[in-house]
Structure 1
Amino acid sequence: MNHTLSCLAAAIAIGTALPASAQEAAATTPAFTDKVARVNGVQIPSELGNVFIKEQVAQGALDSPDLRSRVRDHLVRREVLLQAAREGKVDKDPALLQRIEYARDEMVINAYLDSWSKDHPVTDAQITAEYDRAAAKMGTGMEYKARHILVDEEGAAKSIIDNLKNGIEFGALVVYSKDTGSQERGGDLGWADPATYVKEFSDAMTKLEKGKYTTEPVKTQYGYHVILLDDVRKKGPPPLEQVKERMVQHLQQQAVQEHVTTLLGKAKVE
């Protein structure tokens, strides 16, 4: 979306969203057929108003009399200010004219790159290759799903272990943990690579069997931990569908950059 359309999106409230079929039907009828308005003898062209309406409908707005009225008010306000700026000869400032020309060219460049991207879409083969490359880069290994209770004193940790030995559920003892983040989840730390933990914690956790807890307090820089290992699994990449959208964006950006690099390589720069 260009800057002008962005301003409109902020200036007017979006109407109730319509189903796609209704939006398409509304978009086929031009909102303005003659002119948007005439301000101090200057006509605001219907084409400009229809560009704004089309943009809003594409974003889910209802093409209604209310939307058209707000678009008209916005463009009238814009024209009044533009006329005042011209009367003050602001539009003659050389530096401003240079910035306007630069901004116009930037819009043209962006439109060209958007068009080039549509003509060179990312293929399924490219997506698969990128996914396989990323998966291989992750490497192999194990992930651990553990819970813990963190306290300040070794005696308190030993007391918790004694309670576990006496049959009290781990979840009932988590209330004593000072790690408030994991405490809200029953002490659950989620799936993680052992390398993400401090060494003392990691070493103790990886020695446990599934379903077992540490029978001695584990001392780290944070205090004393009682760790329960819930599960272990081989580390692997997330499902393709979960990351496909981000991968497509990355590959599209990469392709555009390569295209720009090619154009620069062919350019005669003196």
Structure 2
Amino acid sequence: MFNRTVSALALAAAMIAAPAFAQDTTADPDTVVATVDGTEITLGQMAAMKLSMPPDMAQVPANEMWDLLLDEMVRQAALANTGEEELTALDRAFLANQRRDYLVRAVMERVADFEPTDEEVQAAYAAAFPSDEPIQEYDADHILLETEEAANAVIEELNNGGDFAALAEERSVDTGSAQSGGDLGWFTADRMVPEFSEAVVAMEPGTTSEAPVQSQFGFHVIKLNETRDMTAPEMADVRETLVQQIRRQKVAEEIERIAGEATVERTEGIDPAVLDQNILEIPN
């Protein structure tokens, strides 16, 4: 597929001979710098292209980059004009999705572009580390199975002297923890799905779950190694984490607000199976 960014190799080769010159320009991003078969290339589009370049190349002085960048955009415009004449269903769908994705990210970045107040950070800290009750952490291992029968079989093997770590490496479908014998490390209950957390909280250190614990991921066999009270960190040490958390929450709330206020009309009666058909007519 055609690479729509400036070629690093082309830039590196052409900049050697790029002439240095002074040129008066306006700061208006809508200023037209070239027209290709009726398609306008603007100063703003050039500036956006410059932003997409690798940092070391983006630092090249503008007077050394101008002709090179504009020539590249002229070539792209000529090719894009040809592409516009031959748009397929796949092209139209991808272009619409890419435009939507860019606009979504732009909105999210604008929403997240704020500095939380000290009061907001203090409230987030208090919620994460309540002073009136200790926070307990758990050190546990697990073996994740796809079926209850498979989980019961593992429990039976453990009861007969089987090695938990070896069985985790051999049977667990959680490939991430399986490589370390099912080790999940230290965690607080709120970091796990409710079914898993409830089972762990009810266990005694040094024991293994007597029955499979079902969650949305499958069936867990859990071994609780240790518990400990977590010492709350100084707020200054976690301030940046709390700030990011507040921003994520703000973005999530804004997404729900905007989506909730949107007028949505769903077309009924479409068979979902059509998604398995080659509706975009992609050549085999």
Q: TM-score, normalised by structure 1?
A: 0.45
More helix by share: 1
